[in-house]
């Protein structure tokens, strides 16, 4: 395994150092750093909370923090790169993806594949240095995202968003497992929050890009069932997210309960308002932006409340 990774790393180094038209920014674009960074927030929250409830100072296990965060980032970056490789036949059909290096030819297909595989393998190795459970969770998330989602359900069923939500919900579990392989109930609530948060987030994007998905032949819910059904589904997920997020109230306290409730009810109110709004695109954009703010605020809140 180590020998294979090292050989792949040498090929990768050569590929990056001597590409025909590619720059380091092109390789960075393959990793979808926006997605990686947002997921790193949830992975760190899992780490921090695990250390808190295990009564461990993070500074005393700094090596686990480094292995866990670096491993998580590399696995996610590798998965995103492999996603680019697999979707290279349809990305040119969508405006938001038609400038990817796999579409404009800046990076040859073989280099993209090697890049994704090496990043993924290195990520799993770093996670393994933290804990076996962290590595297993990282591998499971990678398989769900690359194989079950990208290679299978994305192109075959409108349930693809649900399947993709599994991999997107794994980062806080990975972070927790890097510190505490036991995974307490709190860790699984973090997973559930992430899992339920993703459908309304990505369905809002799917509404905004509906015609692009239709052109690419991707059966997103707005494409196969229309906006009315999609809106109802999004509101149901947001409504379900409120009680799930409050499962942490007995442990996290009053301030968390109040803020999480306000955030959830505010999102639900915006969702219900969508049934009366005539501009579906404006509503979808508002829902998308709100979802990003919701996730960032609630996970940062979890950490801050355990510092003060």
- Kindly report, residue by residue over 180-224, the tens digit of the pLDDT: 998 999 999 999 999 999 999 999 999 999 999 999 999 999 999
Q: Retrieve residue 174's tokens.
A: 């990975």
Are 102 and 49 found together in one domain? yes
User: Cα separation of 192 and 65, whole Å?
Assistant: 23
Tokens (6 digits) for 41: 């927030």
Lowest mean pLDDT across 10-14, 81-85, 161-165:
10-14
Quick one: tokens of 292? 């990003």
Q: What is the DSSP letter of 99?
A: T
pLDDT-derived band at 293 (thresholds 50, 70, 90) equals very high
Residue 282 has pLDDT above 60, yes or no: yes
* Predicted confidence (pLDDT) per residue in 218-264, tens digit: 999 999 999 999 999 999 999 999 999 999 999 999 999 999 999 99
Backbone φ/ψ region at 22: left (φ over 0), alpha (ψ -120 to 50), beta:
beta
Question: Of 138, 159, 183, at which residue does a domain stop?
Answer: 183
pLDDT at 2 over 90: no
- What does the pLDDT read at residue 97? 84
The token duo for 54 is 């295990």
Quote the DSSP letter at residue 150: I
Sign of the alpha-carbon torsion through 46, 287, 305, 185: negative
CATH number at residue 53: 1.10.357.140
Please tell me whether residues 266 and 289 are part of one structural domain: yes
- In this structure, the answer to whether residues 36 and 154 fall within a common structural domain is yes
Same domain, 83 and 225: no
pLDDT for residue 20 is more than 70: no
Whether residues 133 and 173 fall in one domain: yes
Domain total in the chain: 2
Q: Examine the domain organization and report whether 120 and 257 are in the same domain.
A: no
Supply the pTM of this predicted model: 0.89
- Write down which residue in 183, 205, 228 finishes a domain: 183
| Residue 173 contacts residue 135 (beta carbons within 8 Å) | no
Q: Which residues, including other chains, have CB under 8 Å from residue 67's CB and lie 6 or more apart?
A: 126, 127, 129, 130, 178
90: containing domain: 1-183
Per the rule left: phi > 0, alpha: psi between -120 and 50, beta: everything else, 57 is beta
pLDDT at position 102: 87
For the CA atoms of the chain, what is the radius of gyration? 20
Claim to verify: residue 188 and residue 220 sit in the same structural domain:
yes
Report the chain's mean pLDDT, rounded to a whole number: 91
- Do 141 and 4 lie in one domain? The reply is yes
Average pLDDT over every residue of 75-81? 96
pLDDT at 162: 95
Task: Examine the domain organization and report whether 212 and 179 are in the same domain.
Answer: no
Q: Are residues 251 and 134 in the same domain?
A: no
Helix (H, G, I), strand (E, B) or coil at 281: helix
Are residues 159 and 273 located together in one domain of the fold?
no
Q: Backbone phi, then psi, for 254, in 5-degree steps?
A: -70, -45
Task: Note the pLDDT tens digit of each residue in 101-157.
Answer: 888 888 999 999 999 999 999 999 999 999 999 999 999 999 999 999 999 999 999
* Residue for token pair 């995202």: 145
Tell me how far apart the alpha carbons of residues 69 and 82 are, in angstroms, rounded to a whole number: 20
Question: How does residue 96 score in pLDDT terms, banded at 50, 70 and 90?
Answer: confident
Q: Is the same domain home to 105 and 131?
A: yes
Kindly indicate the confidence band of residue 299, based on its pLDDT and cuts at 50, 70 and 90: very high
Q: Give the whole-number percent of the chain exceeding pLDDT 90.
A: 81
Q: Determine the pLDDT at residue 224.
A: 96
Listed residues 142, 158, 183: the one ending a domain: 183
Residue 9 has pLDDT above 60, yes or no: no
């Amino acid at each position: 395994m180590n020998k294979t990774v090292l050989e792949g790393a040498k090929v990768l180094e050569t590929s990056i150092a001597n590409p025909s038209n590619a720059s380091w920014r092109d390789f960075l674009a393959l990793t979808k750093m926006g997605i990686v960074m947002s997921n790193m927030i949830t992975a760190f929250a899992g780490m921090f909370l695990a250390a808190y409830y295990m009564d461990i100072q993070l500074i005393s296990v700094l090596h686990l923090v480094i292995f866990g965060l670096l491993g998580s980032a590399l696995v996610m970056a590798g998965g995103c790169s492999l996603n680019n490789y697999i979707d290279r036949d349809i990305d040119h059909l969508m405006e938001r993806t038609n400038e990817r290096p796999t579409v404009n030819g800046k990076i040859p297909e073989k280099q993209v594949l090697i890049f994704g595989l090496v990043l993924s393998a290195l990520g799993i190795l770093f996670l393994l240095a933290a804990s076996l459970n962290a590595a297993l969770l990282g591998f499971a998330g990678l398989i769900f995202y690359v194989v079950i989602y990208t290679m299978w359900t994305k192109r075959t069923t409108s349930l693809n968003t649900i399947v993709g939500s599994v991999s997107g919900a794994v980062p806080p579990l990975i972070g927790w497992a890097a510190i505490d392989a036991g995974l307490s109930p709190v860790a699984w609530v973090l997973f559930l929050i992430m899992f339920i948060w993703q459908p309304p987030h990505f369905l809002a994007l799917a509404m905004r890009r509906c015609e692009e998905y239709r052109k690419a032949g991707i059966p997103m819910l707005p494409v196969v069932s229309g906006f009315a059904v999609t809106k109802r589904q999004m509101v149901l997920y947001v409504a379900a997210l409120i009680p799930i997020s409050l499962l942490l109230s007995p442990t996290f306290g009053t301030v968390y309960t109040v803020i999480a409730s306000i955030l959830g009810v505010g999102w639900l109110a915006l969702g219900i308002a969508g049934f009366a709004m005539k501009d579906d695109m404006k509503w979808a954009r508002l829902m998308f932006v709100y979802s990003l703010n919701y996730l960032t605020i609630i996970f940062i809140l979890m950490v801050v409340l355990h510092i003060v």
